[in-house]
Structure 1
Amino acid sequence: MAIAQKRLDPAKFRDPALTAKGERRAVVGLVALRTLWVNTGTLCNITCRNCYIESSPKNDALSYIRAEEVRGYLDEAAAIGAPLEEVGFTGGEPFLNRDLPAMLGDVLGRGLSALVLTNAMKPMMNHAQALLTLREAFGDALTLRVSIDHHEAALHDLERGEGTFARTMEGLVWLAQQGFRVHVAGRAGFGGDEAAMRAGYAALFAAHGVPIDAADPVALMLFPEMDAEVDVPEITEACWGILGKSPDRMMCASARMVVKRRGEDRPAVVACTLLPHDPAFELGATLAEAARPVALNHAHCAKFCVLGGAACSR
Structure 2
Amino acid sequence: MKDNAPQAANIGKFQNCLVTADGQTRASVALTKPETLWFNTGTLCNIECVNCYIASSPTNDALVYITADEVRDYLDQIDLRQWPIHEIGFTGGEPFMNPEMIEMTRAALERRYEVLILTNAMLPMMRRKMREGLLELQRDYGDKLTLRISVDHYRPALHDEERGKGSFAKTVTGMEWLRDNGFKMAIAGRTVWGDSDAESRAGYGAFFAEHRFDIDPHNPGQTVLFPEMDETVEVPEITTDCWNILNKSPESVMCASSRMVVKRKGADRPAVLACTLLPYAPEFELGTTLAEAESEVYLNHPHCAKFCVLGGASCSA
Q: TM-score range by the shorter chain?
A: over 0.9
For structure 2, list consecutive stretches of 5 or more residues without a partner in the other structure: 1-6
1:44 corresponds to which letter in structure 2? Answer: C
2:179 corresponds to which letter in structure 1? Answer: A
Distance in 2 of aligned mates of 1:117 and 1:7: 32
Coordinate RMSD, CA, aligned? 0.9
Which secondary structure does the structure 1 equivalent of 2:160 belong to? Answer: helix
Matches within 5 A, 1:120-135: 120-126=121-127, 127-135=130-138
Distance in 2 of aligned mates of 1:198 and 1:151: 9
Distance in 2 of aligned mates of 1:237 and 1:225: 24
1:262 corresponds to which letter in structure 2? Answer: K
Q: Which residue pairs with 2:148 in the alignment?
A: 145
Matches within 5 A, 1:4-43: 7-43=8-44
1:26 corresponds to which letter in structure 2? Answer: A
**1:246 counterpart = 2:246:** no
Q: Which residue pairs with 1:3 in the alignment?
A: none
Out of 299, 303, 306, the residue aligned to residue 306 of structure 2 is: 303
Deviation at 1:174, TM superposition (A): 1.1
Which secondary structure does the structure 1 equivalent of 2:104 belong to? Answer: helix
1:232 corresponds to which letter in structure 2? Answer: V
Which secondary structure does the structure 2 equivalent of 1:8 belong to? Answer: helix
For structure 1, list consecutive stretches of 5 or more residues without a partner in the other structure: 1-5
Distance in 2 of aligned mates of 1:199 and 1:107: 34
Q: Which residue pairs with 1:104 in the alignment?
A: 105
Runs of 4+ in 1 over 4 A off after TM superposition: none
Distance in 1 of aligned mates of 2:200 and 2:8: 27
**1:86 counterpart = 2:101:** no
Distance in 1 of aligned mates of 2:191 and 2:277: 17
Which secondary structure does the structure 1 equivalent of 2:10 belong to? Answer: coil
Out of 154, 157, 160, the residue aligned to residue 154 of structure 1 is: 157
**1:165 counterpart = 2:168:** yes
Q: Which residue pairs with 1:47 in the alignment?
A: 48
Q: Which residue pairs with 1:187 in the alignment?
A: 190
Q: Which residue pairs with 1:267 in the alignment?
A: 270
Q: Deviations over 1:250-296 (max 9, x none)?
A: 11001000000000010000001100111010000000001000000
Deviation at 1:229, TM superposition (A): 2.1
Distance in 1 of aligned mates of 2:9 and 2:180: 46
Q: Which residue pairs with 2:70 in the alignment?
A: 69
Deviation at 1:189, TM superposition (A): 1.7
Deviation at 1:32, TM superposition (A): 2.4
2:307 corresponds to which letter in structure 1? Answer: F
Moved more, 141-150 or 191-200: 191-200
What is the aligned residue count?
A: 309
Deviation at 1:140, TM superposition (A): 2.0
Distance in 2 of aligned mates of 1:21 and 1:169: 49
1:104 corresponds to which letter in structure 2? Answer: T
Which secondary structure does the structure 2 equivalent of 1:102 belong to? Answer: helix
